[in-house]
Amino acid sequence: MSASVVAFAGSRIDRADHVRQSGDALAGLMNHRARLLLLDGLDPVISEDNTLSWGSLADADADAELVFLGLSEERGCFAAVPLAGSVAPANPRLWQAMATLDAEELATYGGARSMVDWHARHRFCARCGSPTSLAKGGWQRNCLSESCNAEHFPRVDPVTIMLVEHDNNILLGRQPRFPAGNYSALAGFVEPGETIEEAVAREVFEEAGVVVRDVAYVMSQPWPFPSSLMIGCHALADDPAITVDTNELDDACWFTRAQVEDAMRAAQAGGRGEAFGAPPPFAVAHHLLNWWVRRG
């Protein structure tokens, strides 16, 4: 599958790792041609023509930390880390605003959001508690304590999200926060000391009581809320009996291929299928279901 069709993937900004390593090179890019991605806290500022809004470095607060996002047409692209205490929960209109962005711009925003959010939450050293400072253009933070000198790096949390198949049916679940009637693929964080395959098997069994086998990777998606990597998988089940963990899910059901096809057609038109409402197009679960339908 092409990464460009998956939301939050496919940015054309050159990450330019070689620039991050050089303080002189970074300083040389922080000039009048540099671009600053404008954010409202962590939310994107959308222009009248439904694109990301960019300004100059002069638009950042004088003492703001600037994260180097990369190069675009040889111009440095940056984002400012929100001031302490200024980051609020995502605006309810965020998803609607993001729907107006094309794939490349959504990917640029997603990467920037993950980075500045990480910096806003890691101003102090996890080892000794001392203040930290931005380094390597924002791709590292260093502890300022001379007795510690710990180096910290932006993290990505792996999350498995999986379609479980039995007899040409697919297992989907719904969380309490979902709109009424909506179902999606089961998902959960990979825990320390386990493989992706083990995480898929554990999460499916914990949430739905279903034992799976033959776990296979399908696709992935960066998910900047705050900074996960969704690892899409497919697995088979021999026994369809379900035992729902109501601490995790409201419900879990098997759906037929015809029901999934109907739900996906309805989702593309902005509606809901007869049996259930499918995940929205920006979700990796939507692409997994499309993959399964096309696979036949």
The 3 state secondary structure assigned to 191-202 is CCCCCHHHHHHH
Q: Per-residue pLDDT for 2 more than 70?
A: no
Do 151 and 115 fall into the same domain? no
Whole-number percent of the chain with pLDDT over 90: 86
Are 290 and 187 within one domain?
yes
Q: Which domain holds residue 79?
A: 3-119
Same domain, yes or no: 192 and 283: yes
Residues 134 and 257 in one domain: no
Give yes or no: residues 111 and 190 share one domain: no
pTM (two decimals) = 0.93
Q: Residue 3's pLDDT is what? A: 44
Last residue of a domain, one of 104, 134, 155: 155
Bridge partners of 184, per DSSP, are: 173
φ/ψ of 135, rounded to 5, equals: -140, 160
Cβ atoms of residues 8 and 106 within 8 Å? yes
Identify whether residues 59 and 146 lie together within a single domain. Answer: no
How far is CA 59 from each of CA 80, 87, 204, 264, rounded to the nearest angstrom? Answer: 9, 18, 47, 43
On whether both 133 and 202 belong to a single domain, the answer is: no
Q: Please check whether residues 179 and 250 belong to one and the same domain.
A: yes
- The verdict on 112 and 138 lying in the same domain is no
Q: What is the CATH number for 219?
A: 3.90.79.10
Number of domains the chain contains: 3
What tens digit of pLDDT does each residue of 189-247 get?
A: 999 999 999 999 999 999 999 999 999 999 999 999 999 999 999 999 999 999 999 99
161 in the same domain as 288: yes
Asked whether 195 and 237 are in contact (CB, 8 A), the reply is no
Residues 6+ apart with CB under 8 A from 139: 20, 68, 153, 154
